[in-house]
Amino acid sequence: MTTTEMTTSFASPGKTTARAYGAQAADAALAPLRIERRELGPKDVRIDIRFCGICHSDIHFTRGEWGQVPYPAIPGHEITGIVAAVGNQVTGFQPGDRVGVGCMVNSCRECENCRRGEEQYCLSGNTGTYGSTDRDGTITHGGYSDHIVVDEDFVLRVPDSLALDVAAPLLCAGITTYSPLRHWGAAPGRHVAVVGLGGLGHMAVKLARAMGAEVTILSQTLRKKDDGLRLGATSYHATSDDATFEQLAGSFDLIINTVSAPLEIGRFLGLLSTDGALVNVGAPPEPLPVPVFPLLLQRRAFAGSAIGGIRETQEMLDFCAERGIGADIELIPASGINEAWERVLRSDVRYRFVIDNSTL
Ligand code: NAP
Ligand code: ZN
Ligand code: ZN
């Protein structure tokens, strides 16, 4: 029996049981378990998950680095798959459609941010794909599982020309870098630096280049230089080398910091030109001390950015499809998740692990 047949055979009414991979405690290895998915509501789409990317946020969250976790934790918010069933009021999707789900599965839809399509900044807080309290009071569980039920307003279309495996990381790593690149105007004639060449970083390089900007990679070492240039950067420097900070002082209009650990932000602010902005998308739990003089002397800005809204996520998927942009992935079976997490923690990822969910 295929996964499609299995999930469809559970069709409403009634909850369904999903095979999943998750952790029962902050220090526990991930292991197979079963979870319940809600009954298909009138506006819901049930998706057979084919692929799910491994984001560093999955690790921060599951390990309790960001705060209390409602265990069991089933992470995963870079989901692609095929629609298996739809509720009776769903208008945008039908069984067989190629779809994706990113980091959010709901929001209030009424606040000014939701109304302008920035649900990620919902003033009541968006509902995360995992670890959030859903509208029915249950805890959401993510894409390390064989199927998921999501309101159609939070389901994306994956264009036919994008393979589902390389498209999965676009749902978080793609949109998280696309959104600030657009907001701060990556374009021809603009110099963009990307700090950290991991999952987000490698997407930032591809996307900034596709937008026409000149791209520099700032990595801990020169180990991945060949890859960085192939991904679209025109220069590549090691942050372990003090000369980098002298040589590149005042060079960049925009710096996207994707690093998952605290950095000495003041050193990087010095690399911005007048009016330049350093945008932090990396989300380490520790505070980043920011010296003010590099900011005020050249009217520089230090900002943050979280994922992107649903409309912009669709725009990003269409942009990637038109230009043939997917993630560079290493496809793994579910049994390889724990080892993949260890490798992500060692900065040994080229450049996104993606789970083949048929192996769950
Ligand atoms: P990742 O694949 O592990 O990449 C992070 C990269 O940062 C590493 O590959 C490494 O690059 C560099 N790095 C790691 N530790 C470092 C250290 N101690 N010092 C200096 N550089 C270091 O992680 P990711 O999935 O891209 O996620 C990156 C961060 O973004 C995470 O904190 C994640 O939670 C966050 N995130 C935020 C959002 C948002 O909405 N803002 C969305 C998704 C993820 P090099 O080897 O090239 O130095
Ligand atoms: Zn993520
Ligand atoms: Zn809202």
Q: Are residues 114 and 235 in the same domain?
A: no
Distance 101 CA to ligand 3 centre (A): 18
Across the range 79-96, mean pLDDT stands at: 98
Ligand 1 pocket, residue 208 CB under 6 Å:
no
Ligand 1 pocket, residue 204 CB under 6 Å:
no
Distance 150 CA to ligand 3 centre (A): 17
- Residue 217 in any domain: the answer is yes
pLDDT band (50, 70, 90) for residue 11? very low
Q: Are residues 64 and 156 in the same domain?
A: yes
Across the range 110-116, mean pLDDT stands at: 98
Ligand 1, atom 16: nearest CA belongs to which residue? 261
- Label residue 194 exposed, middle or buried (CB < 10 Å: 0-12, 13-18, 19+): buried
CA–CA gap between residue 237 and residue 239 (Å, rounded): 6
Across the range 315-338, mean pLDDT stands at: 98
- Residue 201 in any domain: the answer is yes
Instruction: Say yes or no to pLDDT of 4 above 80.
Output: no
User: Are 52 and 78 in contact, with CB atoms under 8 Å apart?
Assistant: yes
- Residue 315 in any domain: the answer is no
Q: Are residues 62 and 30 in the same domain?
A: yes
- Tell me whether strands 235-238 and 252-257 are parallel, antiparallel or unpaired: unpaired
Residue (of 18, 16, 74) closest to 41 by Cα position = 16
Q: Are residues 26 and 164 in the same domain?
A: yes
Ligand 1 pocket, residue 197 CB under 6 Å:
yes
Across the range 100-110, mean pLDDT stands at: 97
Q: Are residues 178 and 298 in the same domain?
A: yes
Ligand in nearest proximity to the CA of 175: 1
User: Are 73 and 61 in contact, with CB atoms under 8 Å apart?
Assistant: yes
Across the range 86-95, mean pLDDT stands at: 98
pLDDT band (50, 70, 90) for residue 321? very high
Q: Are residues 233 and 249 in the same domain?
A: yes
Based on its alpha-carbon atoms, the radius of gyration of the chain, rounded to whole angstroms, reads 20
User: Are 199 and 169 in contact, with CB atoms under 8 Å apart?
Assistant: yes
Average predicted confidence (pLDDT) for the chain: 95
Q: Are residues 250 and 140 in the same domain?
A: no
Across the range 251-255, mean pLDDT stands at: 98
Q: At 206, which amino acid appears?
A: K
The parent domain of residue 346 ranges over 3-172+326-359
21 contact partners, CB below 8 Å, separation of at least 6:
30, 31, 32, 33, 74, 144, 145, 334, 337, 355, 360
Across the range 227-244, mean pLDDT stands at: 98
Ligand 1 pocket, residue 217 CB under 6 Å:
no
Across the range 322-349, mean pLDDT stands at: 98
Q: Are residues 28 and 117 in the same domain?
A: yes
CA–CA gap between residue 343 and residue 319 (Å, rounded): 30
- Residue 312 in any domain: the answer is no
Ligand 1 pocket, residue 220 CB under 6 Å:
yes
What is the CATH classification number for the domain harbouring 64?
3.90.180.10
- Residue 321 in any domain: the answer is no
Q: What is the pLDDT of residues 31-51, one digit of tens each?
A: 999 999 999 999 999 999 999
Ligand 1 pocket, residue 199 CB under 6 Å:
yes
Ligand 1 pocket, residue 219 CB under 6 Å:
yes
Residue (of 280, 279, 274) closest to 299 by Cα position = 274
Q: What's the first-to-final CA gap in the chain, in angstroms?
A: 14
What's the total number of domains in the chain? Answer: 2
User: Are 104 and 126 in contact, with CB atoms under 8 Å apart?
Assistant: yes
User: What pLDDT, on a 0 to 100 scale, did the predictor assign at position 10?
Assistant: 43
Instruction: Say yes or no to pLDDT of 175 above 90.
Output: yes
- Residue 163 in any domain: the answer is yes
Instruction: Say yes or no to pLDDT of 335 above 80.
Output: yes
Ligand 1, atom 30: nearest CA belongs to which residue? 282
Q: Are residues 214 and 151 in the same domain?
A: no
Q: At 105, which amino acid appears?
A: V
What SS3 state is found at 143?
A: coil
- Tell me whether strands 147-151 and 44-53 are parallel, antiparallel or unpaired: antiparallel
Q: At 113, which amino acid appears?
A: N
Q: Are residues 117 and 191 in the same domain?
A: no
CA–CA gap between residue 334 and residue 67 (Å, rounded): 26
Q: What is the pLDDT of residues 192-231, one digit of tens each?
A: 999 999 999 999 999 999 999 999 999 999 999 999 999 9
CA–CA gap between residue 92 and residue 191 (Å, rounded): 39
User: Are 281 and 259 in contact, with CB atoms under 8 Å apart?
Assistant: no
CA–CA gap between residue 144 and residue 312 (Å, rounded): 24
User: What pLDDT, on a 0 to 100 scale, did the predictor assign at position 6?
Assistant: 40
Q: Are residues 133 and 148 in the same domain?
A: yes
pLDDT band (50, 70, 90) for residue 100? very high
- Residue 316 in any domain: the answer is no
Q: Are residues 132 and 181 in the same domain?
A: no
Residue (of 89, 106, 85) closest to 155 by Cα position = 106
Q: Which residue has the tokens 């240039």?
A: 229
- Residue 29 in any domain: the answer is yes
Instruction: Say yes or no to pLDDT of 245 above 80.
Output: yes
Ligand in nearest proximity to the CA of 261: 1
Instruction: Say yes or no to pLDDT of 13 above 70.
Output: no
Beta bridge partners of 194: 217, 256
What is the CATH classification number for the domain harbouring 273?
3.40.50.720
Ligand 1 pocket, residue 344 CB under 6 Å:
yes
Ligand in nearest proximity to the CA of 127: 3
Counting ligand 1 atoms within 8 A of each CB, the residue from 223, 260, 281, 348 with the most, and so the one to mutate, is 260
Q: What percent of the chain stands above pLDDT 90? A: 95
